[in-house]
Structure 1
Amino acid sequence: MPVYSMTGYASVQKTLQQAEGENATSPHQHTRLGLEIRSVNSRFLDLGFRLPEELRQLEPALRELVTKHLRRGKVEVRASLEAGEGAALPSPSPQALQRLAALQDKIQDWLPKARDLSVADVLRLNQGSSSTQPVDDAAWTALALEAIDALREARAREGARLTEMLQGHIGQLLALAEQAVPLVPQLVEQQRLRFLERWKDAMALADGNHLPETAQDRALTEATAFAIRIDVAEELTRLRAHLDEISRLLDKGGDIGKRLDFLIQELHREANTLGSKSAVLEMTRISVDMKVLIEQMREQVQNIE
């Protein structure tokens, strides 16, 4: 299953067929039905619809389709129903003209400065109030599915790009972890030798109030405590385990965004601990480089569904 980004865009259009029995001068013979869907990242599925009044009754079916195929993201859906270039303008009926004239007189009684309706105003109002060709449910569903499929394809392409980038970051983090592994025993050994030298110096300066055994125990205790404090083997093991799990989820695909976000938090915690236990400049550099890569991964994961 592919990895889906929450960022995508799709736009589809369909020319409505002239209904059977309509004459050649039907004003709706070239009506175009359009559907545009765009989405960006969001913690949950946040749907917004902008539909003309003629299509408002179809919103529940569209909402159900989008909810069925998308899990997360801020999704904006726009639909349009327009007449094409070849469409004839609908002729206003006498009854419609009478209603418009009556409305104009009523408005001007209250607003004397309101201007008279122009021919363009009358045609526009008549076109908006005239009955449009009904949109067949099957045609609407087919168009909606086509738009959703196109959006999912766009999100899948973006998801593949994000997956490639994340896998690259995983490789870099594993390489940094490998650089950190040999540093720990070296640091422990260096510190052990340093404490032994201090112990020998203490023995040379010891007077009758301090026994050699006491000084040696103190040196060994401090050496052990330091070794425990700088040992990051457990952090490196957990970090590699988290990276393996992220890689497994990316290979699996599907609805993995929230799990990836949690694992990124765990990676950041391990990298912080690695830095806090750092006893040499090289380990500090590795920790900083890890946190930079993890922050880049966080930004990418926040776009995954």
Structure 2
Amino acid sequence: MKSMTGYGRASAQNGGYDITVEIRAVNHRFYECSVKLPRAYSYLEEKIKDQLQSRIARGKVEVSLTMQNVGGKSLTVQVNHTAVSAYLTALLEENRRLAEELDGGISEHAFLKQDLSLSTLLRLPDAFQVQQVTEDAEVVWAAVEPLLQDAVEQFLSMRMVEGERLKADVASHLDALEQMTFCVEKLAPETVQLYYDKLYRKITELLADHTVDESRLVTEAAVVAEKIAVDEELVRLHSHIAQFRTLLESDVPVGRKMDFLVQEMNREVNTTGSKSQSLEITKLVVDMKSEIEKIREQIQNIE
């Protein structure tokens, strides 16, 4: 049994990359996965989702991937010769024009000094071209996949530890619910007898010295017994508890099945309470509903 909440993290340098993978999940009715990763590696999203979907059945899962190329060049910088030549040509032409305006002709000493430096070139727009080095997608995935698997194993391990705690807690509430069910079974027959005795006393008081028709009382008691009988409800409740215990030992996701069983158990207990003519049974029903609610709260976190 696994909880739906969990966390896993793996970080290392692998294949020339500094990689960190984090996985976290919270409760959710179905399976939902989102992946955050650098734009340059967006093509890894589907691969990551495929890896997780095969191992996670329910929960809202978030995966975060950060990676940096530390083993080789990730960028190339080249001089844009066309742009630099165009800048220089334009500057020389402007220099000649200014010299002609001042001297009436081309001067040996131009108005602007030709002291164009490297620092000046760096400030010119488009003087350099920066390009991302194309990386082999399979090489990148080969570097990421082992760390992803490590993070997934940590994530699933945490889910299993939490799942064992949930299992133990749910089992204790099932035991309490079963004990209360046995108590109701013992009290149910007494309810009919109590009703018969109460009805006999009232009729005797009303009729005073007149003879009480015993057969009529028995018939009335039988009708009431049929109306307030909870045998079927208690049998079904025992069956649901047994099924629930079987699910606790299952090695496949059972959260949604448990949710259905909790609804059924709650229905049987409510019916028992509505039929009850006994204050003691009514009190037990309240306690039984409390135990079922505790179970319901816990299974919201079971995968």
- Residue 283 of structure 1 corresponds to 281
State how far apart, in whole Å, the 1-side matches of 2:292 and 2:273 are.
14
For structure 1, which runs of at least 5 residues remain unmatched after alignment? Answer: 19-30, 103-118, 207-211
- Which residue type is aligned with residue 18 of structure 2? R
The reply on whether 1:37 has 2:29 as its aligned counterpart is: no
The reply on whether 1:68 has 2:54 as its aligned counterpart is: yes
State how far apart, in whole Å, the 1-side matches of 2:58 and 2:193 are.
51
Which one has the largest radius of gyration? 2
RMSD (CA atoms) = 3.1
- Which residue type is aligned with residue 146 of structure 1? D
- Which residue type is aligned with residue 302 of structure 1? Q
State how far apart, in whole Å, the 2-side matches of 1:246 and 1:89 are.
56
State how far apart, in whole Å, the 1-side matches of 2:45 and 2:80 are.
32
- Residue 180 of structure 1 corresponds to 184
Q: Please say if residues 9 and 39 of structure 1, whose CA atoms lie closer than 8 Å, have aligned partners that are also in contact.
A: yes
State how far apart, in whole Å, the 2-side matches of 1:90 and 1:252 are.
52
Deviation for aligned residue 1:195:
2.7
- Which residue type is aligned with residue 45 of structure 1? Y
Q: Please say if residues 199 and 219 of structure 1, whose CA atoms lie closer than 8 Å, have aligned partners that are also in contact.
A: no
State how far apart, in whole Å, the 1-side matches of 2:296 and 2:224 are.
33
State how far apart, in whole Å, the 2-side matches of 1:200 and 1:89 are.
101
Using structure 1 for the length normalisation, give the TM-score.
0.75
Residues 146-172 of structure 1, C-alpha deviations (whole Å, 9 max, x = no match): 222221111111111110100010111
- Which residue type is aligned with residue 264 of structure 1? V
The reply on whether 1:163 has 2:167 as its aligned counterpart is: yes
Residues 185-231 of structure 1, C-alpha deviations (whole Å, 9 max, x = no match): 2211111222333444465465xxxxx79x55543332112222222
- Residue 13 of structure 1 corresponds to 11
- Residue 113 of structure 1 corresponds to none
- Which residue type is aligned with residue 277 of structure 1? K
Q: Please say if residues 46 and 73 of structure 1, whose CA atoms lie closer than 8 Å, have aligned partners that are also in contact.
A: yes
- Which residue type is aligned with residue 236 of structure 1? L
The reply on whether 1:252 has 2:250 as its aligned counterpart is: yes
Residues 230-274 of structure 1, C-alpha deviations (whole Å, 9 max, x = no match): 222222221111111111111123111111111010111111112
Using structure 2 for the length normalisation, give the TM-score.
0.75
Deviation for aligned residue 1:82:
3.3
For structure 2, which runs of at least 5 residues remain unmatched after alignment? Answer: 88-121
- Which residue type is aligned with residue 267 of structure 1? M
Q: Please say if residues 54 and 132 of structure 1, whose CA atoms lie closer than 8 Å, have aligned partners that are also in contact.
A: no
Q: Please say if residues 169 and 293 of structure 1, whose CA atoms lie closer than 8 Å, have aligned partners that are also in contact.
A: yes
Matches for 1:11-160 after TM superposition, within 5 Å: 11-18=9-16, 31-82=17-68, 92-95=77-80, 130-131=132-133, 135-160=139-164
Q: Please say if residues 2 and 164 of structure 2, whose CA atoms lie closer than 8 Å, have aligned partners that are also in contact.
A: yes
Residues 77-101 of structure 1, C-alpha deviations (whole Å, 9 max, x = no match): 11111367x99997854449x79xx
- Residue 229 of structure 2 corresponds to 231
State how far apart, in whole Å, the 2-side matches of 1:47 and 1:245 are.
31
The reply on whether 1:266 has 2:264 as its aligned counterpart is: yes
- Which residue type is aligned with residue 139 of structure 1? A
Deviates more, 1:228-237 or 1:215-224: 215-224
Deviation for aligned residue 1:45:
1.0
State how far apart, in whole Å, the 2-side matches of 1:130 and 1:201 are.
101
Provide closer, same or farther for how the CA distance between residues 40 and 172 of structure 1 changes in structure 2, counting only shifts above 3 A: same
Deviates more, 1:163-172 or 1:295-304: 295-304
- Which residue type is aligned with residue 163 of structure 1? K
Aligned residues: 259
Q: Please say if residues 47 and 75 of structure 1, whose CA atoms lie closer than 8 Å, have aligned partners that are also in contact.
A: yes
- Which residue type is aligned with residue 247 of structure 1? R
- Which residue type is aligned with residue 165 of structure 2? R
Residues 89-116 of structure 1, C-alpha deviations (whole Å, 9 max, x = no match): 97854449x79xx9xxxxxxxxxxxxxx
State how far apart, in whole Å, the 2-side matches of 1:95 and 1:161 are.
64
State how far apart, in whole Å, the 2-side matches of 1:59 and 1:90 are.
23
Q: Please say if residues 9 and 37 of structure 1, whose CA atoms lie closer than 8 Å, have aligned partners that are also in contact.
A: yes
Q: SS where residue 34 of structure 1 aligns?
A: strand
